[in-house]
């Protein structure tokens, strides 16, 4: 076998090659083995409109690490991929396209528009999938699902109809959040609240009897056209006597009652509020309690409608202006105050949301939430970290009914049909051709589609074939882990859990591992406007996917945000280079070597040490990955590989490799092989490409490192004498420090004197002197008695010994003395200057505190340096 690793690692050549190889060899495909419990992850389906951003890169890297780890443990592993049809986002893309042609979706009509969307999806929908492949994601692409697939659509239909039949889905008038720009309903969590500087208008509503007014306060005067009552708190002494009276609604000149309701806040405004059930969620509830009519004064575009009298047709803000004018003219406007209040905005387009009453479909949440709370309380679904459990339970305990209809065309159309002849509404599993009641064929399907989350809520089981009883569903369900961001616990995680409990009677996953946000070096959110985002594809292009993956792994803890910046990427790139260079060295030395069984009794101390350390890191990486502590696992293998293996073992191995003893050479090769092979395996989940490239060059069995067996702790390597190696390393570090402190040129070898205070330590040094010679650049060593105190020598203390490095011969003592004296002189002057400054009251009292503090620190530093120089001078002058 000849080594074929170029001297510089180039990820570009390597990554594409191996991804293709894995796919061609069908290594991602999950295989059912009923004798083993599988490990399953369903991917959080990215939007078909998506482009890989740093959040995806993190989330999918973590999933791939877990999947590769479990696969190497020889567990049947399935990572099921797919994409989400993303109703609003995808329609927006196609609407943009149409707008460039001067068309709207209404110009095309539903059917033609949907054709356009499918065409768009065929053309661009695969982008994110290809980007995931670049990242190295080892998904089972043969099981790829799309939320609008035939199978998944069937699941959606089944769930809808069955919930409807159980009375858990209903259609009703309800106040919803309406986006006048997207022209659709938004669920509560799709509305983002922002603080705004607004105005509070105080308006007089005259009493019907002509004797004065009651004052109300509102931030949205245009909605007054839809007022149906004025409400006061029943406990409010100011208004008690007015309850039941009538007022005349200004402008509309409509008679409306004064009612009493506990909801009214006596402290807000005047304590009397206008009630507009058509356009305010709280008023809607009050309206229901008091059986008040609903008057809608706006249409779907946010314009005033026919119920707005002379303001019909005006934009809502235009109407506001004119209504305020009219009130002023009629002397009905008391005052306008500034007010800070939060206003709901559309999460997609930032338009101010308009609460509006309309006919919508809802899921009744209370009965569904209970089992979803219980399964988490019972610990059958566990959040990692645990603190998210409370947030989840709290949300479900206070949940409102879920509005599931959306006024879009792209999505799962609601399976309800209305008969134009007899008005019957029928919800059906099959598309309806005829009214079941009057047999009329004059039917119309509900035009709305379902909220995108309705289909993704079924993802863990619909993707496995439900409602069919498939082999996949039986074997891979429930899934093992869900890896997802905390921002979609409500949108998605909670809904998957209650859907699964209702339809599978079993939890959808055992663990929910929560990921944080990827922030910039300063901890800020990555955003377009700040321009501080890093494109993961650019990182892959420049440094390779392994580097990106390793950068995202290090420092990652479940549930916490992480920082990501180019220096971190470069650090990971250096690690990749380190792996490459070390592996090249080992491979070149292993040329022609065929691995043999390691003969334990022939191992030297350094071999026993590195094998024991290998054992240790295998245990640690395995444990931390099992606990989803991916960041810690990454740092463990990083530290082991870089410091213990590269900096120490490989350096020590050079002695044997260049020596004459064939047996020692062979044993060292065996250890190098073992440690490298196991390290590559431990690194593989984090850095799949570079590890494959190297492993393929190493003597191996099987097709790929990705299906090789995960390293196991070998009890035979748990040697009990490895702390001796630590003593040697300590001694070498000590001698190196002395050399550095004394400015000894690297080429100059040192002589050392060893004073062993423990007998066995003397033996240790005698047995391993070649290592000290080689690594500490020593060419003479002598053992001295306890009573001897060498002069002109620096010393270092290790466990059981003291080591002296005489300086004569190493450096020119006179010259060094002179140099040190000069340095001392300079430092003394500096110190004097600093002390003068600090003695000056003017400076101390008037300069900024941090400047004074800095000066103080400087003085300390000078003193410290001077005392060190004096110690050294004493040593050098000591005859």
Q: Which stretch binds Zn ion (CB under 5 A): 145-153, 413-421, 495-503, 849-857?
A: 413-421
φ, ψ of residue 201 to 5 degrees: the values are -95, 130
- Whichever of 346 and 805 has its CB closer to Zn ion, that residue is 346
Nearer to Zn ion, 196 or 437 (CB): 437
* Minimum distance from residue 408 beta carbon to Zn ion (Å): 11
d(CA 612, CA 76): 30
Structural contact between residues 790 and 804, judged by C-beta atoms closer than 8 angstroms? yes
Choose among 210, 358, 338: nearest CA to 294: 358
Judged by CB under 5 A, the stretch of 361-369, 391-399, 430-438, 730-738 that binds Zn ion is 430-438
Out of 422, 425, 740, 857, the only residue in the binding site for Zn ion (CB under 5 A) is 422
Contacts with Zn ion in 97-126 (CB under 5 A)? none
- Beta carbon of residue 297, minimum distance to Zn ion (angstroms, whole number): 21
Chain centroid, CA 692 distance in Å: 26
**Helix runs in 504-544, H state only:** 536-543
Find the part of the chain contacting Zn ion (CB under 5 A) among 437-445, 472-480, 733-741, 807-815: 437-445
Task: Determine the distance from the C-alpha atom of residue 381 to the mean position of all C-alpha atoms in its chain, rounded to a whole number.
Answer: 20
Residue 425 in contact with Zn ion, rule: CB under 5 A? no
Q: In whole angstroms, give the CA distance from residue 534 to residue 293.
A: 54
Q: How far is the CB of 421 from Zn ion (least distance, A)?
A: 5
**Near Zn ion by CB under 5 A, which window of 438-446, 581-589, 633-641, 686-694?**
438-446
Choose between 423 and 658: whose C-beta lies nearer to Zn ion. Answer: 423
Only one of the segments 119-127, 431-439, 611-619, 831-839 lies at the binding site for Zn ion (rule: CB under 5 A); that segment is: 431-439
Cβ proximity to Zn ion: between 419 and 630 the closer is: 419
Interface with Zn ion, residue 438, by CB under 5 A = yes
Residue closer to Zn ion by CB (options 352, 813) is: 352
Instruction: Give the one residue of 349, 521, 588, 740 binding Zn ion; rule: CB under 5 A.
Output: 349
Residues 181-210 that bind Zn ion (CB under 5 A): 181-182
Q: Which residues pair with 201 in a beta bridge?
A: 218, 336
Q: Mask 351-380, x = binds Zn ion (CB under 5 A)? A: x-----------------------------
Site membership for Zn ion, residue 435 (CB under 5 A): yes
Q: How far is the CB of 407 from Zn ion (least distance, A)?
A: 11
Q: Is 437 in the site for Zn ion (CB under 5 A)?
A: yes
Place of tokens 């069984």: 597
Sequence-distant (6+) residues with CB within 8 A of 264 are: 231, 232, 233, 236, 271, 272, 273
Measured from the CB atom, is 348 or 863 closer to Zn ion?
A: 348
| Minimum distance of Zn ion from residue 448's CB (angstroms) | 16
Q: How far is the CB of 88 from Zn ion (least distance, A)?
A: 8
Secondary structure of residue 687 in the 3-state scheme: coil
Q: How many residues bind Zn ion (CB under 5 A)?
A: 15
By beta-carbon proximity to Zn ion, the closer residue of 430 and 701 is 430
Q: Can you tell me the distance from the alpha carbon of 352 to that of 248, in angstroms, rounded to the nearest whole number?
A: 30
Smallest gap from residue 357 Cβ to Zn ion (A): 19
Contact call for residue 633 and Zn ion (CB under 5 A): no
Residues within window 681-710 making contact with Zn ion, judged by CB under 5 A? none
**Closest to 612 measured CA to CA, from 721, 487, 767:** 721
Instruction: Choose between 408 and 539: whose C-beta lies nearer to Zn ion.
Output: 408
Burial label, 647 (beta-carbon count in 10 A; 0-12, 13-18, 19+): middle
DSSP alpha helix (H) spans, 272-338: 281-289, 316-329
Report whether 355 contacts 186 (CB < 8 A): no
Q: Which of 438/857 has CB closer to Zn ion?
A: 438
The number of angstroms, rounded, from the C-alpha of 726 to the middle of its chain's C-alpha atoms is 39
Sign of CA dihedral 708, 712, 714, 718: positive
Asked if 230 contacts 273 with a C-beta cutoff of 8 angstroms, the reply is yes
797 binding Zn ion? (CB under 5 A): no
What is the rounded CA–CA span in Å between residue 632 and residue 622? 11
Q: Which stretch binds Zn ion (CB under 5 A): 28-36, 135-143, 341-349, 381-389?
A: 341-349
Residue 346 binding Zn ion, by CB under 5 A: yes
Task: Spell out a b/e string for 607-617, using b for 16 or more CB atoms within 10 Å of the CB, else e.
Answer: bbbbbbbbbbb
Instruction: Say if residue 723 is exposed, middle or buried (CB neighbours under 10 Å; 0-12, 13-18, 19+).
Output: exposed
Please state the closest distance from residue 425 (CB atom) to Zn ion, in A. 9
Lookup: tokens for 545: 């996917």
From 99-107, 285-293, 396-404, 435-443, span contacting Zn ion (CB under 5 A): 435-443
Q: Which is closer to Zn ion, CB of 407 or CB of 577?
A: 407
Least distance to Zn ion, CB of residue 442, Å: 8
* Min separation Cβ 512 and Zn ion, Å: 29
Q: For residue 80, what are the contacts with CB-CB under 8 A and spacing of at least 6?
A: 40, 41, 42, 43, 139, 140, 143, 145, 463, 464, 476
To Zn ion, the closest distance from the beta carbon of 434 in angstroms equals 9
Least CB distance to Zn ion at residue 102 (A): 22
Segment interacting with Zn ion, rule: CB under 5 A, options 410-418, 427-435, 740-748, 846-854: 427-435
Q: Give me the least distance between CB of 440 and Zn ion, in Å please.
A: 5
Q: Of the candidates 16, 23, 158, 424, which one interacts with Zn ion according to CB under 5 A?
A: 424
* Shortest distance in whole angstroms from residue 186 CB to Zn ion: 7
Least Cβ distance, residue 423 to Zn ion (angstroms): 7
Phi and psi dihedrals of 818, rounded to 5?
-60, -45
**Residue with smaller CB distance to Zn ion, 435 or 483:** 435
The DSSP 8-state label assigned to residue 398 in this structure reads T
What DSSP character marks residue 53?
Answer: -
Dump the DSSP string for 809-871. TTB-HHHHHHHHHHHHHHHHHHHHHHHHHHH-HHHHHHS-HHHHHHHHHHHHHHHHHHHHHHH
- What track of x and - describes contact with Zn ion for positions 143 through 182 (by CB under 5 A)? ------------------------------------x-xx
Sort strands 479-485 and 443-445 into parallel, antiparallel or unpaired. unpaired
In DSSP notation, 211-269 reads: S-EEEEEES-GGGGGG--EEEE-TT-TTTGGGTT-EEEETTTTEEEEEEE-TTS-TTST
Please return the burial class of 592, using the count of CB atoms within 10 Å of its CB with bins 0-12, 13-18 and 19+: exposed
Q: Are the beta carbons of 131 and 52 closer than 8 angstroms?
A: yes
Q: How far is the CB of 413 from Zn ion (least distance, A)?
A: 20
Regarding 32 and contact with Zn ion (CB under 5 A), the answer is no
Residue span binding Zn ion (CB under 5 A) among the ranges 10-18, 71-79, 383-391, 414-422: 414-422
In the complex, minimum distance from the CB of residue 406 to Zn ion, in angstroms, rounded to a whole number: 12
3-class DSSP string for 751-772: EEEEEECCHHHHHHHHHCHHHH
Rounded CA separation 285/288 (Å): 5
In terms of CB distance, is 144 or 491 closer to Zn ion? Answer: 491
Which C-beta is closer to Zn ion: that of 177 or that of 604? 177
Choose between 348 and 654: whose C-beta lies nearer to Zn ion: 348
C-alpha 204/C-alpha 215 separation (Å) is 5
Q: Rounded to an integer, what distance in angstroms lies between the CA atom of residue 584 and that of residue 7?
A: 8
226's tokens? 């839809």
**Exactly one of 419, 473, 482, 630 binds Zn ion (CB under 5 A); which one?**
419
Q: According to CB under 5 A, which residues from 440 to 459 bind Zn ion?
A: 440
Which stretch in 47-55, 344-352, 503-511, 574-582 sits in contact with Zn ion by CB under 5 A? 344-352
* Closest approach of Zn ion to the CB of residue 624, in Å: 43
Q: Give the residues lining the site for Zn ion (CB under 5 A).
A: 179, 181-182, 346, 348-349, 351, 419, 421-422, 424, 435, 437-438, 440
């Amino acid at each position: 076998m000849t080594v074929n690793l170029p001297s510089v690692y180039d990820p570009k050549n390597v990554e594409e090659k191996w991804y293709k190889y894995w796919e061609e060899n069908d290594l991602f495909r999950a295989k059912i083995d009923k004798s083993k419990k599988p490990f399953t992850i369903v991917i959080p389906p990215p939007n078909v409109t998506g482009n890989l951003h740093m959040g995806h890169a993190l989330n999918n890297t973590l999933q791939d690490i877990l999947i590769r780890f479990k696969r190497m443990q020889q567990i049947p592993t399935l990572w099921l991929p797919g994409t989400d049809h993303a109703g609003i986002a995808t329609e927006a893309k196609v609407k943009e396209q149409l707008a460039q042609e001067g068309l709207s979706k209404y110009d095309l009509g539903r059917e033609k528009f949907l054709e356009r969307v499918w065409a768009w999806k065929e053309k661009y929908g695969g982008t994110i999938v290809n980007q995931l492949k670049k990242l190295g994601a080892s998904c089972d692409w043969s099981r790829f699902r799309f939320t609008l697939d035939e199978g998944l659509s069937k699941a959606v239909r089944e769930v809808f109809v069955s919930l409807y039949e159980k009375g858990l889905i209903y259609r009703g008038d309800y106040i919803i959040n309406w986006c006048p720009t997207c022209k659709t309903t938004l669920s509560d969590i799709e509305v983002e609240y922002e603080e705004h500087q607004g105005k509070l208008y105080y308006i007089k509503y005259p009493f019907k009897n002509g004797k004065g007014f009651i004052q109300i306060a509102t931030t949205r005067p245009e909605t007054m056209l839809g007022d149906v009552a004025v409400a006061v708190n029943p406990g409010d002494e100011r208004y008690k006597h007015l309850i039941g009276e009538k007022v005349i609604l200004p402008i509309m000149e409509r008679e409306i009652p004064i009612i009493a309701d506990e909801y009214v806040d006596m402290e807000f405004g005047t304590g009397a509020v206008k009630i507009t059930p058509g356009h305010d969620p709280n008023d809607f509830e009050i309206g229901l309690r008091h059986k008040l009519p609903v008057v809608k004064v706006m249409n779907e575009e946010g314009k005033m409608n026919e119920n707005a009298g002379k303001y019909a047709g005006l934009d809502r803000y235009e109407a506001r202006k004119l209504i305020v004018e009219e009130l002023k003219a009629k002397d009905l406007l008391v005052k306008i105050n500034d007010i800070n209040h939060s206003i709901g905005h559309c999460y997609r387009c930032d338009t101010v949301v308009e609460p509006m009453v309309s006919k919508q479909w809802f899921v009744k949440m209370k009965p569904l939430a209970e089992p979803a709370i219980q399964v988490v309380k019972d610990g059958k679904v566990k959040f990692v970290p645990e603190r998210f459990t409370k947030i989840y339970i709290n949300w479900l305990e206070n949940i409102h009914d879920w509005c599931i209809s959306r006024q879009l065309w792209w999505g799962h159309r609601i399976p309800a049909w209305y008969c134009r002849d007899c008005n019957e509404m029928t919800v059906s599993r099959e598309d309806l051709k005829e009214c079941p009641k009057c047999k009329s064929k004059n039917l119309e399907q509900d035009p709305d589609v379902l909220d995108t989350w309705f289909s993704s809520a079924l993802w863990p089981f619909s993707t496995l074939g439900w409602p069919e009883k498939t082999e996949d569903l039986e074997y891979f369900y429930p899934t093992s882990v869900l890896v997802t961001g905390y921002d979609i616990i409500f949108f998605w995680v909670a809904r998957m859990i209650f859907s699964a409990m209702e339809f599978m009677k079993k939890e959808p996953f055992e663990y929910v591992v929560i990921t944080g946000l990827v922030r910039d070096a300063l901890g800020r959110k990555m955003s377009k406007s700040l321009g501080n985002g890093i494109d993961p594809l650019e990182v892959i292009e420049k440094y390779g996917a392994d580097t990106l993956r390793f950068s995202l792994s290090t420092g990652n803890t479940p549930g916490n945000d992480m920082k990501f910046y180019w220096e971190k990427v470069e650090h990971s790139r250096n690690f990749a280079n380190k792996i490459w260079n070390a592996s090249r060295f080992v491979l070149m030395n292993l040329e022609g070597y065929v691995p043999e069984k390691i003969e334990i009794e022939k191992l030297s101390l350094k071999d026993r040490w590195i094998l024991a350390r290998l054992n240790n890191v295998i245990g640690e990486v395995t444990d931390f990955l099992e606990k989803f502590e991916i960041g810690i696992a990454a740092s463990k293998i990083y530290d082991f590989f870089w410091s213990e293996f590269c900096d120490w073992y490989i350096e020590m191995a050079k002695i044997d490799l260049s020596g004459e003893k064939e047996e020692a050479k062979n044993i060292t090769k065996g250890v190098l092989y073992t440690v490298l092979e196991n390290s590559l395996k431990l690194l593989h989940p984090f850095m799949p490409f570079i590890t494959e490239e190297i492993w393929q060059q190493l003597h191996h069995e099987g097709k790929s490192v990705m299906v090789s067996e995960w390293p196991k702790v070998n009890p035979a390597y748990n040697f009990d004498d490895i702390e001796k190696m630590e003593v040697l390393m300590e001694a070498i570090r000590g001698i190196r420090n002395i050399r550095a402190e004394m400015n000894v040129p690297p080429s100059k070898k040192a002589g050392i004197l060893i004073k062993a205070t423990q007998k066995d330590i003397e033996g240790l040094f005698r047995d391993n002197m070649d290592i000290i010679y080689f690594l500490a650049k020593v060419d003479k060593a002598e053992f001295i008695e306890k009573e001897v105190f060498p002069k002109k020598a620096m010393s270092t203390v290790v466990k059981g010994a003291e080591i002296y490095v005489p300086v004569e011969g190493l450096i020119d003592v006179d010259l060094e003395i002179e140099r040190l004296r000069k340095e001392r002189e300079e430092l003394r002057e500096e110190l004097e200057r600093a002390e003068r400054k600090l003695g000056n009251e003017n400076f101390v009292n008037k300069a900024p505190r941090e400047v004074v503090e800095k000066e103080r620190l400087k003085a300390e530093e000078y003193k410290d340096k001077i005392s060190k120089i004096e110690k050294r001078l004493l040593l050098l002058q000591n005859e």
